[in-house]
Amino acid sequence: MLSGYWIFAPEVLIVAGAFIALFGDLLPGRDRTAAYVGAAVAALAAVLAAAGGTAGPMVFGQVEPDEIARFARTGIAALTALWALWVAGRGMPDERRRDAVALAMFAAGGGMLLTMAEDLIVMYIALELSTMPAYVLMGYRRRDVPGLEGALKYFLLAMLTSIIMLYGMSFLYGISGSTSFAELALEGSGMLGVLGVMLTLVGLFAKMSAAPFHYWAPDAYAGAPAVSVAFVSTVPKIAGIAVMARLLHAVAGDVGGLVTIMAVVAAASMLLGNLAALPQSDLRRLMAYSGVAHTGYLFMALAPDTSAGYGAAVFYTVAYAVPSMAIMLVAAEEGSDLTDLGKLASRRPLAAWSMVVWLVSLIGIPPLAGFFGKLYLFGSALSAGLVWLVVLGVLTSVVSAGYYFRVVREMFFGDEPAGIAALEPAPTASLALAIAAIATVAIGVGASPLLAALGVALG
């Protein structure tokens, strides 16, 4: 159990690992060794984050490593290790593995700090640190025009919404005279308080691809390398949901109408995401719209302003991130068009059946992680009287089964792609995918104790 400032050891390790990977050309084995070092350091950081315990407000109340942060930091570090392990086995476009691993670890370090933020300034700095490396990862193929176009859309929208978020923070500071979440006294601030909170949330909405700020995601995901999408579409969301839970917990009681606003954004994200995913034939675009829909499910739990809802949202973010990352890593191996997955069950049965596990979890079928996550998401919204939102969530989950099972049908009953080359063996990449499949089942099995801890985190 870590105590005092040693509790920040996981973040220090992640950043140190990023610098080691950045200068990986000096290591024996160069890029591949840098990726292995990144995976090992991130795995150690995950262990320390899980075993390090919790503490009250620290650094003059600007950060608080509580149970929410503990779970989210562990998830971020573990997923970063999983991603780096796959990269060590399969590589990156242009074979610049060390750069990609360094960028991912810098982003992970910012995300882990973001999960503990209890101050507007710390939140903004950590948010930018966690997303700026993502811009580079999305445009990783420097001579690929569609990829650069998608990365540019991501960058421009993120910058615009960051400016809007800073403007909203200025309102919050002007009303309360403090940047600390604990001292954001917005009671009686009326429309000015609502405006300040909503402008502040806009930056988080865009980075999490919530409707109507989701338009960058499909183009960016379709143009970027699938391995980059695997990281950018999952790890930052864990940090974003954790800090949103903190911010909403601090201001929701003083700002009228915030529940309704969050519920409307949740409903729009679920509808637009699931309906737009139905006709997609590119797996990356399909998963982009699926991510919009899952953001809606997460916001459903954030809307009621309850400790149980916040805990359920953070739990479900990790439960969503694991299979989503794994699916995109398979797309990086096989190709992003659905027809590229034809007869995958015959060519790579373990990968195909693992895909079934991940897709079934995303639908929310027991006993996998996604089922328990959605169960508690819906339960928290139902307890707050948002029956219409729960009904919409259930119906859109049924819709999601339509496009997820299209992927399953292609893997088992589709035509084998013409001229397909045998995939070179990569034991470490296969190990990463196996770990993701096991984790999807294990998180579901261990859902009760995890949710019990998270349910009282912000009480």
258 vs 256: CA distance, rounded Å: 6
- Considering only residues 146 and 13, tell me which one the structure prediction assigns the higher pLDDT: 13
pLDDT at position 419, please?
67
pLDDT exceeds 90 at position 224: no
Residue 45, classified by CB atoms within 10 Å of its CB into exposed (0-12), middle (13-18) or buried (19+), is buried
Beta partners for residue 282, in sequence order: 337
Q: Phi first, then psi: what are they for 323, rounded to 5°?
A: -65, -35
pLDDT at position 426, please?
83
pTM value is 0.94
Q: Phi first, then psi: what are they for 117, rounded to 5°?
A: -60, 130
pLDDT at position 187, please?
76
Q: Distance of CA 346 to CAs 341, 342, 415, Å?
A: 10, 9, 11
135 vs 153: CA distance, rounded Å: 10
Confidence of residue 94 (pLDDT cuts 50, 70, 90): low
* Angle formed by the axes of helices 67-90 and 427-445, nearest 10°: 160
Dihedral of the alpha carbons of 72, 78, 83, 88, in degrees to the nearest 10: 150
pLDDT exceeds 80 at position 361: yes
Residue 191, classified by CB atoms within 10 Å of its CB into exposed (0-12), middle (13-18) or buried (19+), is exposed
Confidence of residue 5 (pLDDT cuts 50, 70, 90): confident
pLDDT exceeds 50 at position 414: yes
pLDDT at position 98, please?
85
Lowest-pLDDT range of 34-38, 64-68, 185-189, 414-418: 185-189
Q: What is the mean pLDDT of residues 419-438?
A: 85
Beta partners for residue 63, in sequence order: 58, 117
Q: What is the mean pLDDT of residues 85-98?
A: 81
pLDDT at position 3, please?
63
236 vs 459: CA distance, rounded Å: 25
At a CB cut-off of 8 Å and minimum separation 6, what does 405 contact?
359
- Note whether 343 and 416 are within 8 A (CB): yes
Closest CA to 439 of 335, 340, 358: 358
Residue 254, classified by CB atoms within 10 Å of its CB into exposed (0-12), middle (13-18) or buried (19+), is middle
Residue type, 253: G
Residue type, 302: L
Candidate ranges 32-36, 49-53, 147-151, 253-257; pick with highest mean pLDDT: 32-36
Residue type, 307: S
CB atoms within 10 A of CB 26: 10
- Residue 306 C-beta-side C-alpha neighbours within 13 Å: 18
Beta partners for residue 58, in sequence order: 63
- Considering only residues 80 and 60, tell me which one the structure prediction assigns the higher pLDDT: 80
Lowest-pLDDT range of 3-12, 175-184, 320-329, 340-349: 3-12
At a CB cut-off of 8 Å and minimum separation 6, what does 1 contact?
51, 52, 53
Work out the mean pLDDT of the chain and round it to a whole number.
88
pLDDT exceeds 60 at position 12: yes
Residue 380, classified by CB atoms within 10 Å of its CB into exposed (0-12), middle (13-18) or buried (19+), is buried
17 vs 101: CA distance, rounded Å: 9
pLDDT at position 240, please?
92
pLDDT exceeds 50 at position 66: yes
Provide, rounded to the nearest whole percent, the portion of the chain with pLDDT above 90: 47
Q: What is the mean pLDDT of residues 46-72?
A: 86
355 vs 324: CA distance, rounded Å: 10
At a CB cut-off of 8 Å and minimum separation 6, what does 442 contact?
none
pLDDT exceeds 80 at position 176: yes
Q: What is the mean pLDDT of residues 412-439?
A: 85
Confidence of residue 323 (pLDDT cuts 50, 70, 90): very high
In DSSP notation, 268-331 reads HHHHHHHHHHTT--BHHHHHHHHHHHHHHHHHHHHTT--HHHHHHHHHHHHHHHHHHHHHHHHH
pLDDT exceeds 60 at position 456: no
Q: What is the pLDDT of residues 266-320, one digit of tens each?
A: 999 999 999 999 999 899 999 999 999 999 999 999 988 888 888 889 999 999 9
pLDDT at position 2, please?
63
Lowest-pLDDT range of 253-257, 333-337, 379-383: 253-257
Lowest-pLDDT range of 317-321, 383-387, 400-404: 383-387
254 vs 206: CA distance, rounded Å: 24
At a CB cut-off of 8 Å and minimum separation 6, what does 344 contact?
334, 351, 352, 355, 410, 411, 412
